[in-house]
A and B are shown apart, each in its own frame.
Chain A
C-alpha cells in the first residue's frame, strides 16, 4: 500500500539556519504530495503542495519539489525563524481516494534564538 517515510526528530536549529526535512513515499499511480504543519495547540495546516512530478510547492519561504525518480518530496527553508518551531508532516493523497491521506510520522522542529 501507499506510505510516507520522513526523517525522525526532533530537529534543533539556531535561528537563520538552513532546514531540510527528508520525505520519501511509496505509491501506486500518481499521488499528490503535501506538507502540513502543526503549531503547538493547533490543528494541521497546509504548508504547501505539489500535484505532479517536477512541481515545486512553496509558501512562507518553504519549498519542496515533487521528484518522481527518487520518490521524494523534501522540505527546505533557507533561513528559519523561532516562529517556525512546529511539527511538520509529509503526506500523500491517492488519485483514486476520497481524502484518504497517508501521513508521515511527523518531524518536530525546534528553532532557538
Chain B
C-alpha cells in the first residue's frame, strides 16, 4: 500500500541553525501539506501546497519557514534560524484530490528538537 515517508525520524539542532525536513508523498498525489504537533498539544496546520505554489498557510508559518518541491518526488520543509519553540513533531501529508472531502495521508512524522 502506498505511503508517505518522512526523513529524518528525529533531528536535533542548535537554536539558530537551519533544518530541512524531507517528505516523499504518495506518487500520484497532487496536494501536499505540513502539520506539526507540539508535545501534548493539538495537531496544527502549517501549509498546503498545490501546483508548485503555496495554497494556504497559517500564522505559524512565518518567514523562517519555506516549502519546496524540488523534483517530482520530494516535498521539503525548511526552517531557518530555529527557535526553541519550533521543537515539535512535524507531519507531512498528501492528498490525491481536493482535500475538503477527501482523505489526507500522513507520514510517521519527524521529531525536531531545538536545543
Q: How far is the CA of A41 from the CA of B6 in the complex (A)?
A: 13
Contact with A along B89-115 (1 / 0, CB 8 A): 001010100111101111111000000
The stretch of A44-52, A60-68, A69-77 that contacts the partner chain: A44-52
In whole Å, how far is A105's beta carbon from the nearest beta carbon of chain B? 5
Size class of B's contact patch?
20 to 34
Query: B42 near A105 (CB under 8 angstroms)?
Result: yes
Chain B residues with CB under 8 A of A101 = 35, 43, 45, 99, 104
Knowing A45-B106, A99-B48, say if A93 contacts B43 (CB, 8 Å).
no
CB-CB under 8 A for A42 and B108, given A32-B100, A98-B50:
yes
Is there an interface contact between A43 and B109, defined as CB atoms closer than 8 Å?
Answer: yes
Looking at the assembled complex, report how far the CB atom of B110 sits from the nearest CB atom of chain A, in whole angstroms: 10
Asked whether B91 lies within 8 Å of A44 as measured between CB atoms, the reply is yes
Who on chain B is nearest to A29 by CB? B100
Q: Which residues of B contact A (CB under 8 A)?
A: 4, 31, 33, 35, 41-45, 48, 50, 55-56, 58, 91, 93, 95, 98-101, 103-109
A residues in contact (CB < 8 Å) with B? 31-32, 34, 36, 41-46, 49, 51, 89, 91, 93-106
Q: What would 21 A/B residue contacts be, using CB atoms closer than 8 Å? A: A31-B100, A34-B103, A42-B108, A43-B106, A43-B108, A44-B106, A45-B106, A46-B103, A51-B101, A89-B43, A94-B100, A97-B99, A98-B56, A99-B55, A99-B93, A101-B43, A101-B99, A103-B44, A104-B42, A105-B41, A106-B42
